[in-house]
Structure 1
Amino acid sequence: MQDIILRKADISHIRDVFDLSNDPIVRENSLNPSFIEWGEHEKWFTSKIQDPESLFLIVTNQAGTFLGQVRFQAEDLENAVISISLVAAMRGLSFASLILEEACRIYKNENFRKKYVFAQINKSNIPSIKSFAKALFVYDSDFEYNNKMYILMKKTI
């Protein structure tokens, strides 16, 4: 993990996040599988990096190369939802669980009143389910959204 850095996103990351968000694998596993238009992304990204209820982290290596993103969105006083996406070169290398653990530690330090973090994972995305489980998320429930099945995994922080 020493070669991986997590830091708060800023406007300079907008293009990297846009490109990653429209990666076919990322779109396929998202709650909304549709291509994201630039104008829509620009408004969304700007609002998220300014939202006090959101923690948007960028994943880079020591050289500053963009590797992915992790985002937390507060749902209420005790709960937040987490999402993660990594560039293709980082997938399957067992970094996701380490990134999730570190991101949760950062989030807890900034949001000490939160008790749980939830992940909404496409049921067919077995690598993601395994990564969250390795990061100590546990199964909570199943749900259907847009004719796809998802599982909800939960972590106490």
Structure 2
Amino acid sequence: MTPGLVARDATEADAEQLLAWRNDPRTRSASRTSDVIALDDHVRWLRGVLASPDRLLLVVEAAGEAVGTVRFDREPAGEWEVSITLAPASRGRGLARAVLTEGERVLAERQDVRAILAAVHQDNAASAALFERAGYRESAPAADGFRWLRKTQP
């Protein structure tokens, strides 16, 4: 466990908060899909994620306050793609690395993980630096405005 942070499984009760974070303009600008998402569409998506054995969605909390979310999507051959979102109010507090580390810890406890992949928008220098500091390395040429980084698990 990362000191001070606890990851828990997301639930349907988190839908509105997760949607507010997802629809935040800064979050949308770094996402593959930058459209504003409607609540009904989001709830449908969330139910599918929560029911899927190939996805893990965590809410990370500090002192009982939700500060971010980490999602992992299973890829072939024991690889997982990561997506991280910090709550807008949590940005600038130095929490991103700890949120990512806590998510990776939970994933490794629950799944056989060979590697974790991250798609990082080419204009998102902060996210690229986060993943690079966490041990992710360039794994494929950039495509469609996104860099691909990969972290091999021990």
Q: In structure 2, what is the equivalent of residue 84 of structure 1?
A: 84
Which residue of 146, 151, 154 corresponds with 2:150? 154
Counterparts of 1:91 and 1:39, CA distance in 2: 27
Equivalent AA in structure 2 for residue 39 of structure 1: D
Equivalent AA in structure 1 for residue 25 of structure 2: P
Q: Is residue 131 of structure 1 aligned with residue 127 of structure 2?
A: no
Q: In structure 1, what is the equivalent of residue 39 of structure 2?
A: 38
| Cα shift readout 1:2-61 (whole Å, capped 9, x = no counterpart) | 322211111111111011010000001000111111111011001101111111000112
Q: In structure 2, what is the equivalent of residue 65 of structure 1?
A: 65
Counterparts of 2:96 and 2:134, CA distance in 1: 8
The answer to whether the 8 Å contact 1:56/1:71 transfers is yes
Moved more, 134-143 or 48-57: 134-143
Counterparts of 2:85 and 2:77, CA distance in 1: 25
TM-score normalised to structure 2 length = 0.92
Counterparts of 1:81 and 1:34, CA distance in 2: 21
The answer to whether the 8 Å contact 2:16/2:39 transfers is no
Aligned residue pairs total: 152
Counterparts of 2:101 and 2:19, CA distance in 1: 24
Aligned residues: percent identity? 24
Equivalent AA in structure 2 for residue 154 of structure 1: R
| Cα shift readout 1:64-106 (whole Å, capped 9, x = no counterpart) | 2221110000012321100000012222332211221221121
The answer to whether the 8 Å contact 2:19/2:39 transfers is yes
Counterparts of 1:8 and 1:78, CA distance in 2: 21
Post-superposition offset of 1:143: 2.9
Provide runs of 4+ in structure 1 moved above 3 Å: none
The answer to whether the 8 Å contact 2:69/2:99 transfers is no
Q: In structure 2, what is the equivalent of residue 100 of structure 1?
A: 100
Q: Is residue 6 of structure 1 aligned with residue 2 of structure 2?
A: no
Equivalent AA in structure 1 for residue 40 of structure 2: G
Unpaired stretches in structure 1, ≥5 consecutive residues? none
The answer to whether the 8 Å contact 1:14/1:45 transfers is yes
Unpaired stretches in structure 2, ≥5 consecutive residues? none
Equivalent AA in structure 2 for residue 14 of structure 1: A
Q: In structure 2, what is the equivalent of residue 143 of structure 1?
A: 142
